[in-house]
Amino acid sequence: MLKIGYGIDTHAFMEGDNIVLNGIKIKHNKAIKAHSDGDVAIHSLCDAILGASALGDIGDYFKDTDDKYKNIDSTILLKKSYQMAQQKNYKINNIDMTIITETPKISEHKNKMKENLSAILKIDIDDINIKATTCEKLGFIGGKKGISVHCVVLMEDKKC
């Protein structure tokens, strides 16, 4: 049986010199304001995996009020989220992710992000798609005040 999961995460920018997306550090004139490392891409992916597996959401397991998750590398959260899904016999068929930001430009980092996700999740790189778009200078994101990521995951229940 196939299951679809959808995840979204949005954060504000703050003073800094880099952001992290899909575990890849990207030089930028801002940082992402967050309790963890602020990897909005991985957070949306975790929510999509947990959603498809009927396991709730990232906040159910990794609370932003818990000091043990302060500045945590979000790839750890991704590994744990996928392990929980695998314990329920789910496997990822494919990932489709959209990063919404005016800056930084994402195109030159997409392949490295895909390689990193492929290695972490042990899935084929051709089963991962990463897109980027802007808000045409409209709203919170268009005003370069933050970033948002939407993610859809198709998962298969291996018991069926």
Task: Specify the amino acid at residue 69.
Answer: Y
User: CATH number, domain at 81?
Assistant: 3.30.1330.50
CB count in 10 Å sphere of residue 18: 14
Q: Give the number of domains in the chain.
A: 1
The residue written with tokens 């390689």 in the block is 115
Domain with 39, as residue range(s), is 2-157
Query: What pLDDT, on a 0 to 100 scale, did the predictor assign at position 72?
Result: 87
Which contiguous run of DSSP H or E holds residue 115?
helix 110-121
pLDDT tens digit at each of 160 positions of the chain? 999 999 999 999 999 999 999 999 999 999 999 988 899 999 999 999 999 999 999 999 988 887 888 878 999 999 999 999 999 999 999 999 999 999 999 999 999 999 999 999 999 999 999 999 999 999 999 999 999 999 999 999 877 5
Query: What pLDDT, on a 0 to 100 scale, did the predictor assign at position 8?
Result: 98
Query: What pLDDT, on a 0 to 100 scale, did the predictor assign at position 53?
Result: 97
What percent of the residues of the chain are helix, what percent strand, and what percent coil, each to the nearest 5? 35, 35, 30
Q: How many helices (H) and strands (E) does the chain have?
A: 5, 7
